[in-house]
Amino acid sequence: MNNCIFCKIVRDEIPAKKIHEDDDIIAFNDINPAAPVHILLIPKQHIASLSETEELHRDLLGKMLLSIPKLARDQGCTDGYRTIINTGHVGGQEVFHLHIHIIGGKERLPAMIHQS
Ligand code: AMP
Ligand code: ZN
């Protein structure tokens, strides 16, 4: 996808602080971190959102999830972290290339969603 910002990171057309890269996935630091550790984990393949995934993505999705504990641990999240996948308009998704947020630090994170 020519104009997708995360595809540009995959192609090294814009810089990112990459933490992990292999044939299928990349993890890099979020440009606007919400906590001391804020990693984005993406597939190299352009998939717009979790809603666009299908059976053929089973192995890729499994690989992404299974890579998270080591990624988080290597960034110092030894006592837990939060994983978030924002999906679509209601989910607050801003970049339409599937990504998993991995968020953590030393302090317990605040409750995620409040309903007033
Ligand atoms: P979401 O709302 O789930 O789509 O989140 C998109 C995330 O991408 C936000 O946390 C942004 O700070 C992050 N982001 C946007 N552009 C970049 C970039 N060039 N490098 C790293 N992170 C980015
Ligand atoms: Zn993309």
Give the whole-number percent of the chain exceeding pLDDT 90. Answer: 92
The Cα–Cα gap between 27 and 12 comes to 13
Ligand nearest to the backbone CA of 102: 1
| Residue 38: Cβ within 10 Å count | 19
Spatial distance between the Cα atoms of 10 and 15, rounded to a whole number of angstroms: 10
Res. 52 pLDDT band, cuts 50 70 90: very high
Distance CA 23, CA 3 (A): 21
Does residue 1 have a pLDDT over 80? no
Establish whether 99 is a catalytic residue: yes
Q: At 9, which helix (H) or strand (E)?
A: helix 5-10
Asked if residue 45 has pLDDT above 80, the reply is yes
pLDDT of residue 92: 97
Tokens matching residue 70: 């080591």
Q: Count Cβ atoms below 10 Å from residue 79 Cβ, excluding itself.
A: 9
Decide: pTM greater than 0.75: yes
Query: Which pLDDT band holds residue 112 (cuts at 50, 70, 90)?
Result: confident
Pocket of ligand 1 contains residue 30 by CB under 6 Å: yes
The closest residue, in CA terms, to atom 18 on ligand 1 is: 31
If you average pLDDT over every residue of the chain, what do you get? Answer: 96
Q: Residue 69, SS3?
A: helix
The tokens for 97 are 């290339």
Q: What is the pLDDT of residue 99?
A: 98
- What is the whole-number distance in angstroms between the Cα of residue 98 and the centre of ligand 2? 8
